[in-house]
Structure 1
Amino acid sequence: MVTLISTAIMSFRIFDLPSELLVPILSFLSNEDLHNAGQASFILLEVIDSSVELQYLKTLRVAQMADNPSSHIPIVDRLAALTARESAFLRVKPSWKRSYVVNFMPAGLYELSAGLFFLGEFTRKALRYIKLPTQPAQDHEPSVEWERIETKSENAIIIDFGLAIEEHDLIVMATFNLTEPFEELRDNMPLKGEIQLEFLSLSTREPHPQARESITVQQSLWGLPNVVLEIVGDHVLFAVSYAHEEGPNDNVYFYEWRTRRLVKIITAERRTYFGAVFLSTDVVLLPNTSAATLELWQISSNEDTPALTLHLPRVVPGVQLRLMTARGEPNPSALPLRKDPYTPFSTSSENSIIVFHVSFPMHRFLLFIHRRALLSLIDKHPEPANDPLPYSEWGPNVCRWLNAAGLNTDWITTTSGQRCVLLPMRPSPFFLLDFNPLNEPVGPSARRLPADNDPFSMDHGIWAETVGSRLECHVAGGNQQFTGYSGASLDDSRIIALRVSCLPLLSVFVC
């Protein structure tokens, strides 16, 4: 009996399995291993090439996208959509375009998330938003209207807002609530008020059921502050900084938004923090303008110092960094995201790029670093150090620097995943940067940027050391002329540009 069983086992081959069982097994292999398996066996090659599931999985891995498991779209259609999307982005040739009149006076507030584009009203009393298109305009299709969501505070103006729509159906409005009427203010007297956070549900436009009460963050005697607002998981990050010479120190608050509990506060000298990025649900990056460093903080840590501090390249004596901000899309998530069932796939936060705007009095630069590269530095340096890590020890191989001269940098949300849209100031086509190391330049305008040198950079006498810039990247130009546009952004499948003129216009280019 034992002999018969042994003989049966020895004679069994994986090729004897039906494809219904082979495909799930093969799905655990990397793309390289799938290629090797196909080279070793014609039977496996046929299974791999004929399986829509495996072809979709391979394409997802190359694009470094994440599948939407709740999508209603058949896998064969997801594969076709992903292939077309990647081709359009690589060639910077959108498939079609739609435009929407902005029939209200917009303010400087904007945001892009979950297939929605938000703009602040000039009155700062409300936000407007529009659902971005997923298909070309159809005959007799009703016009798309801008929806409106208001602050619930009567005497408040909106100074910023943050979104966690797919995670919590949540909009957080940062408001400035006047404590003195305008008519009682004297000339050149700064506004006085309370800075509050309101928690609203997008679906109902009412106070969020899990956080119905607002948070009063601090009193303000120095006019409107510069603020940063981000929401990830249970935490909302809110940074407050003042330009007023008599203003207080900068404060970065971390709240549990459901309970309103303050879990951490970081304080620094005035005009230190102008940006913040969640690298993970527990690690936050704060660009420190005063010290020209990148600080990596752990929210759960009781330490009052960063887990790791990274120094930017040294500058020559007399040169002073004026401003540094940062942004990375999409944010990480503590919960499975509630994706639209008609969304087949989405950008991976894990593989996304972080963009930094680094400004000197006469010059501006863009710095790009992968989110995973920054997180890996914490693993390599688990013990907090007394001094920042010199740029030469961490930066040259993971950074890409670009001179931002001639580029419109008013918008900070210019990345999605590993792509970045660049909008020139003069009328010319936009550019797309691609930091996915698995992609190759495609099309006549595409080219790979060389290491330690790029066509946008010049020696401005700023740096006191060699600025290594070796992060792989290629750039391609579009064929669409942009005239009069004030900013451009992008998401999983669209490039969005806003023209502010006598008739403001939102243009959406869909890949």
Structure 2
Amino acid sequence: MSDNSLQYSIELRAAGAVNNSSPACILSVVDRLRLLREREQAWGCLHFAESTRIPVTYQPPSSCIYDLSGGVLVLGEPGLLWGENPAVRALRLTEALKAGVGHDSRRGISPVEPYWSRVTAEPDVYIIDFGLAAQGHDLIALATYKPQALQPTEGMAAIRLHILQLSTGQHHPIASQPVMYVLDTSSLPEASLACVQIVGDLLGILLIFDFAAHPDEFALYNWKS
């Protein structure tokens, strides 16, 4: 084994990478070693060859809920009051960037609005968090609260999970229940914290309440059965 081959093998293992053994790759060991070192140097100083800014065109452009997972950027669409998100907006970054949307120093600004999709649960409910499994299941789970005006206790609200297909915004076709009841609470959304996570077939929601009268809750569901 030559010195370059040995050095390449050592640095390949240190970088946690694998050699491209495809016959279509005609790069020499020297070139592969050079490219590997350039990649590691770029990661070491977080230097990226290109960057793109994606404008958020809908108003108001700020929300406390967001996620970037599986090539999809999802932002909450705030309502009039803090914590009231009537919808979320989703942008599939791979499709949008291939179409040349966004802003960079060479092209200027390209329109991005047609690539944002709007996902809602139902009228008169507010989204407090969501979970995302875009690649594996085309799934978004919206945690919502809905004020219950007819409840005897003033300020009661129902918290539910809406299991939706991200690409269509409709109920997910393989979900056992399109809407899952979680609990009723008297907490206002700004006085609580919700966190939704999806791992495979499991969907979990953690609710932390900012008052002693209501204990924190964690619920785990199999969203397919």
TM-score, scaled relative to structure 1: 0.34
Letter of the 1:96 partner, please give it: E
SS of structure 2 residue aligned to 1:236? strand
Does residue 220 of structure 1 match 2:185? Answer: yes
Is residue 72–residue 134 contact of structure 2 (8 Å, CA) maintained in 1?
no
What does residue 76 of structure 2 align with? 120
* Cα distance in structure 1, aligned partners of 2:130 and 2:18: 27
* Cα distance in structure 2, aligned partners of 1:165 and 1:66: 27
Distance verdict in 2 for CA 1:221–1:114, change over 3 Å: same
Is residue 121–residue 127 contact of structure 1 (8 Å, CA) maintained in 2?
yes
1:174 is aligned, of 143, 146, 149, to 143
SS of structure 2 residue aligned to 1:87? helix
1:149 is aligned, of 113, 118, 133, to 118
SS of structure 2 residue aligned to 1:195? strand
Q: What are the superposed Cα offsets for residues 186-232 of structure 1, whole Å, 9 maximum, x if unpaired?
A: xxx97421111111112222211111511011111222231121111
Q: Which has the higher contact order (CA 8 A, sep 6+)?
A: 1
SS of structure 1 residue aligned to 2:14? helix
Letter of the 2:141 partner, please give it: V
Distance verdict in 2 for CA 1:63–1:257, change over 3 Å: farther
What does residue 130 of structure 1 align with? 91
Does residue 92 of structure 1 match 2:30? Answer: no
Letter of the 1:218 partner, please give it: L
Q: Which runs of 5+ in 1 are unaligned?
A: 1-37, 68-73, 260-511
Shift of 1:119: 1.1
Distance verdict in 2 for CA 1:102–1:84, change over 3 Å: farther
Is residue 153–residue 177 contact of structure 1 (8 Å, CA) maintained in 2?
no
After the TM superposition, which residues 212-291 of structure 1 pair with which residues of structure 2 at under 5 Å, given as runs?
213-224=178-189, 225-246=192-213, 248-259=214-225
After the TM superposition, which residues 58-73 of structure 1 pair with which residues of structure 2 at under 5 Å, given as runs?
59=12, 61-64=13-16
Moved over 6 A (4+): 79-82
Larger Cα-atom Rg: 1
* Cα distance in structure 2, aligned partners of 1:180 and 1:210: 32
SS of structure 1 residue aligned to 2:42? helix
Shift of 1:81: 7.5
What does residue 157 of structure 2 align with? 193
What does residue 427 of structure 1 align with? none
Distance verdict in 2 for CA 1:82–1:161, change over 3 Å: farther
* Cα distance in structure 2, aligned partners of 1:129 and 1:81: 34
Letter of the 2:88 partner, please give it: L
Distance verdict in 2 for CA 1:191–1:96, change over 3 Å: farther
Shift of 1:156: 0.8
Q: What are the superposed Cα offsets for residues 16-59 of structure 1, whole Å, 9 maximum, x if unpaired?
A: xxxxxxxxxxxxxxxxxxxxxx3xxx5xx78x57xxxx86x963
Is residue 197–residue 205 contact of structure 2 (8 Å, CA) maintained in 1?
yes
* Cα distance in structure 1, aligned partners of 2:154 and 2:119: 25
Q: What are the superposed Cα offsets for residues 146-195 of structure 1, whole Å, 9 maximum, x if unpaired?
A: 512322221210000111112211111111122128xx9xxxx9742111
Shift of 1:254: 1.1
Shift of 1:256: 0.5
* Cα distance in structure 1, aligned partners of 2:15 and 2:144: 39
SS of structure 1 residue aligned to 2:136? helix
Letter of the 1:233 partner, please give it: G
* Cα distance in structure 2, aligned partners of 1:129 and 1:63: 33
* Cα distance in structure 2, aligned partners of 1:241 and 1:201: 27
After the TM superposition, which residues 48-63 of structure 1 pair with which residues of structure 2 at under 5 Å, given as runs?
48=5, 59=12, 61-63=13-15
Shift of 1:63: 3.1
Is residue 197–residue 204 contact of structure 2 (8 Å, CA) maintained in 1?
yes
Shift of 1:130: 2.8
Letter of the 1:108 partner, please give it: C
* Cα distance in structure 1, aligned partners of 2:154 and 2:35: 53
**Aligned CA-pair RMSD:** 3.5
Distance verdict in 2 for CA 1:194–1:84, change over 3 Å: farther
Distance verdict in 2 for CA 1:131–1:65, change over 3 Å: farther
Distance verdict in 2 for CA 1:250–1:203, change over 3 Å: same
> Share of identical aligned residues, percent?
26
Is residue 130–residue 144 contact of structure 1 (8 Å, CA) maintained in 2?
no
Q: Which runs of 5+ in 2 are unaligned?
A: 80-84
Letter of the 1:205 partner, please give it: G
SS of structure 2 residue aligned to 1:117? strand
Does residue 158 of structure 1 match 2:127? Answer: yes
Q: What are the superposed Cα offsets for residues 286-309 of structure 1, whole Å, 9 maximum, x if unpaired?
A: xxxxxxxxxxxxxxxxxxxxxxxx
Shift of 1:235: 0.7
* Cα distance in structure 1, aligned partners of 2:201 and 2:120: 22
Q: What are the superposed Cα offsets for residues 274-295 of structure 1, whole Å, 9 maximum, x if unpaired?
A: xxxxxxxxxxxxxxxxxxxxxx
TM-score, scaled relative to structure 2: 0.71
Is residue 126–residue 145 contact of structure 2 (8 Å, CA) maintained in 1?
yes
Letter of the 2:211 partner, please give it: H
Is residue 91–residue 117 contact of structure 2 (8 Å, CA) maintained in 1?
no
* Cα distance in structure 2, aligned partners of 1:75 and 1:216: 53
After the TM superposition, which residues 297-446 of structure 1 pair with which residues of structure 2 at under 5 Å, given as runs?
none
Is residue 121–residue 142 contact of structure 2 (8 Å, CA) maintained in 1?
no
Distance verdict in 2 for CA 1:139–1:176, change over 3 Å: same
